[in-house]
Amino acid sequence: MKRQLKFAPIAALAAGFLLLAGCGKRANVGSYQGESNQIAAVIAQRNLTPDDVLGAVSTYEPSGQHDEYVMFASGGQSGQVLVYGIPSMRLLDQIPVFTPDSMAGWGYGGAGNAILHNADLAAGPTGPAMQVRWGDTHHPALSQTDAKYDGKYLFINDKANGRIAVINLHYFQTTQIVKNPIFYNDHGGTFVTPNTRYVIETSQYAAPLGNGYAPLKDYAAAYRGEMTFWRFDENTGYIDPKRSFAIELPPYWQDLAIAGRLASHGWVFCNSFNVAMYHDDDTNGKPSFEAGATQRDTDYLHIIHLAQAEADFKAGKFTRINGFPVIPLKAAIADRILYFTPETKSPHGVDATPDGQYIVVNGKLDPHVSVYSFKKILAAIAAGNYRHDQYGVPVLPMRETIEARVEAGLGPLHTQFDDKGYAYTSLFLDSAIAKWALGGEYEKLHPDVPAWSLVQKMPVNYNPGHLAAPASDTSEPLGHYLVSLNKWSIDRFDTVGPLYPEDLQLVDISGPKMRLLSDTPLGLGEIHYAEIIPYKMLNVARVYPMGFSPRTWQVLKNAVQSGQEKIVRQGNHVTIFMTAVRSHYTPEVVQLNQGDEVTWHITNIERTPNASHGLAISAYNVNLTLNPGETETVHFLASRAGVFSFYCTKFCSALHLEMAGYLVVKPAGAAAVAQR
């Protein structure tokens, strides 16, 4: 075991620490003279190895000191986005997206309701409307300008319900959720094109396009996959569904996707599995999907010429499904939009090198990562030396498209890149990360290390899914850190019941060897992917402009201002104009008749950062969070008679408990409430 430390190393460690500390801006050698023995004692008492101490001092943020990077991580089944500081791995925020969130007051009466409602299932020929109040978020994507992060927006998909959300990073707030009109689920999303012109969302489990019915026996004829290109409008900050379109794909189960950049700008790549099109109606005892879907030796890397698809869309070469433009498979083939090249069966992640020259496919069942050359793909297309799959899609021979195969280890899932010409691949089965050297132009960055060679394997705990490195998905990755997003934690933390947390392990990749720095448990959801950006690239607001509505994303001219508070009754419709400021609401008493229709406007008129207030109304399921300047509107029917308190849910001041009021609802039949 590693936890054995003799006195000498402790002393050396303490001495080294003392020397190191001497270089810091916050202290000098002299100031540690008294502490060095104490430090050595703590190291001994806690049984720390030199690596432990190095990890601790590399990641510890002293009180009040901020992190250099932030990581935007999918919150998995929580349906949200998590925000971490790096290197401390402190959880800074949970941005509510697909799931109501009571801290943010998201989905309990305010703006969140309207945004969530917009992405519910609409009623249609196949069934009634359905409220969907959760999501399974997988892949966050930061907006890009010229293939670099611009820090403005974040996108995230909901695999379970086929939805995409837009988060504005000025306010860290979800502004829009769009429901895919032709598919129920997705997985290959979100990924953005190099100028965030399009946000990509790809279906996963083939089904009839348009959410209709077809029996499983008609799988090959009636089931399809698709890739949707959501047009993002930089001027408005919203996805414009009217300028968005999809491409019909064969009913292979499409997996991860990535947009090309630089060399491969204008192209998109997507993995698939179950090219065998295995399906079974469970009546004849055929094997399970896990056996049936993997019976072929190869699946297909999809190569999609987005620039040509966009031209077809603009030329009106599409059909409409549920009103949404879809370029039919036949047209995609005829107009040279879609190609395949074989990949070893059942791969998982597909990633593009920073220069867009190589497409890296992670084997999953194959111990190799396969590196395809975009130059070779173009040459293979030009050579025309291809066969066709059963739907007529050209299949480029693998020997013409592949550049290298790197034996990384067992279960390669996802790859990230640093600034020194290296790639890092998660090995799910090996519980390890493989560091390997890129070839081509990247060889110049590491002249002594052979191209496409394995450099180091480092164990992680356990079963890593995605990895995340700063700006890895851009033309300028930053290196420095890598986070291993591990699915299993087994023995790493105190057991807290049968549902185990994930383990996020922070790794230092700045030196020649990867070095483990810390473990962080996560019990809120399963992170799939994450993107990391230097904090200084963000431009985050501290307060809202006065009267800002997160529903309209505008300053409302008629937002309630101080001195204009009132209650207006028109028949049985009552409108409340309320303000909140430390430490009271105005008005504080609202008297209604049972059956009144209520519109309740409230503005937090604070200008002080951090001075948020809440508005919780007992029995009416209303819970708002109002940040400084924010205005919200709640509608409800006063269906229940009685005396209800409303109060501020945020301990905003010494007199916070007094920030409360009464909602008095007189039972129907009793004398009506006098008008104010």
Q: Which does 656 bind (CB under 5 to 8 A by kind): ligand K7E, ligand CUA, none?
A: ligand CUA
Q: How far is the CB of 586 from ligand CUA (least distance, A)?
A: 13
> 152, 279, 348, 613: which one contacts ligand CUA (CB under 6 A)?
613
Tokens linked to 674: 């006098």
- Shortest approach of ligand CUA to residue 583 CB, angstroms? 6
- Closest to ligand CUA by CB, 543 or 648: 648
Nearer to ligand K7E, 435 or 528 (CB): 528
Q: How many CB atoms lie within 10 A of CB 124?
A: 12
Binding mask 592-631 for ligand K7E (x = CB under 6 A): ----------------------------------------
Nearest CA to 137 among 169, 163, 166?
163
Where does residue 651 fall: left (phi above 0), alpha (psi -120 to 50 degrees), or beta otherwise?
beta
Q: Report yes or no: 156 and 81 within 8 Å, Cβ to Cβ.
A: yes
**Alpha-carbon span 559 to 629, nearest angstrom:** 10
Residue 648 found at the interface with ligand CUA (CB under 6 A):
yes
**Ramachandran region of residue 411, left (φ > 0), alpha (ψ -120 to 50) or beta?**
left
d(CA 136, CA 162) in angstroms, rounded, equals 10
Question: Is 219 or 600 the residue whose CB approaches ligand CUA more closely?
Answer: 600
Residues 492-551 that bind ligand K7E (CB under 6 A): 528-529
Binding to ligand K7E by residue 149, rule CB under 6 A? no
Q: Which is nearer to ligand K7E, 74 or 593 (CB)?
A: 74
Q: In this chain, which of 652, 661, 665, 666 binds ligand CUA, going by CB under 6 A?
A: 652
Query: Can you list the alpha helix ranges (DSSP code H) found in 367-520?
Result: 374-383, 398-401
Verify binding: residue 163, ligand K7E, rule CB under 6 A.
Answer: no
**β-bridge mates for residue 320, sequence order:** 325
Q: Which helix (H) or strand (E) holds 472?
A: none
Total residue length of the chain: 676
Instruction: Verify binding: residue 626, ligand CUA, rule CB under 6 A.
Output: no
- The secondary element (H helix, E strand) that includes residue 32 is none
Interface with ligand K7E (CB under 6 A), residue from 348, 368, 480, 601: 348
CB 665 within 8 A of CB 556: no
Cα distances from 182 to residues 34, 211, 320, 527, in angstroms, run 69, 6, 10, 27
CA pair distance 235, 240, nearest whole angstrom:
11
Asked whether position 54 contacts ligand K7E by CB under 6 A, the answer is no
139 binding ligand K7E? (CB under 6 A): yes
Q: Is 650 in the site for ligand CUA (CB under 6 A)?
A: yes
CA distance from start to end of the chain: 76
616 lies in the binding site for ligand CUA (CB under 6 A) = no
Tell me how far apart the alpha carbons of residues 141 and 155 are, in angstroms, rounded to a whole number.
5
Which of ligand K7E, ligand CUA, none has residue 256 at its interface (CB below 5 to 8 Å by kind)? Answer: ligand K7E
Q: Which residues contact 334 (CB under 8 A, 6 or more apart)?
A: none
Answer with the entry of ligand CUA, ligand K7E, none that 213 interacts with (C-beta below 5 to 8 A by kind).
none
Q: Which is nearer to ligand CUA, 419 or 565 (CB)?
A: 565
Residue nearest to ligand K7E (CB): 465
Q: 529 or 544: whose CB is closer to ligand K7E?
A: 529
Q: Which does 648 bind (CB under 5 to 8 A by kind): ligand CUA, ligand K7E, none?
A: ligand CUA
For ligand K7E, the binding residue among 199, 301, 413, 507 (CB under 6 A) is 413
For ligand CUA, which is the closer residue by CB, 303 or 634?
Answer: 634
Residue (109 or 349) nearer to ligand K7E, CB: 349
In sequence order, the β-bridge partners of residue 590 are: 663
* Amino acid symbol at 297: D
| Cα–Cα separations (whole angstroms), residue 322 to 157, 181, 214, 313, 314 | 21, 6, 16, 16, 19
Closer by beta carbon to ligand CUA, 304 or else 560: 560
Helices (H), 366-453: 374-383, 398-401
Asked if 466 touches ligand K7E (CB under 6 A), the answer is yes
User: Which letter does DSSP use for residue 359 in this model?
Assistant: E
- Pick what 465 binds: ligand CUA, ligand K7E, none; C-beta below 5 to 8 Å, kind-dependent: ligand K7E
Contact 61, 84 (CB under 8 A): no
Task: Residue 528: name its binding partner from ligand CUA, ligand K7E, none (Cβ under 5 to 8 Å by kind).
Answer: ligand K7E
CB-based contact 39:48 (threshold 8 Å): no
Cα gap 578→152, rounded to integer Å = 32
- Between residues 500 and 636, which has the closer beta carbon with respect to ligand K7E? 500
Find the binder of ligand K7E among 32, 52, 138, 226 (CB under 6 A).
138
- Shortest Å distance, C-beta 604 to ligand CUA: 8
Q: Which stretch binds ligand CUA (CB under 6 A): 100-108, 232-240, 562-570, 650-658?
A: 650-658
SS3 54: helix
Binding residues for ligand CUA (CB under 6 A): 583, 613, 648, 650-652, 656, 659
Binding residues for ligand K7E (CB under 6 A): 138-139, 187, 256, 348-349, 413-414, 465-466, 528-529
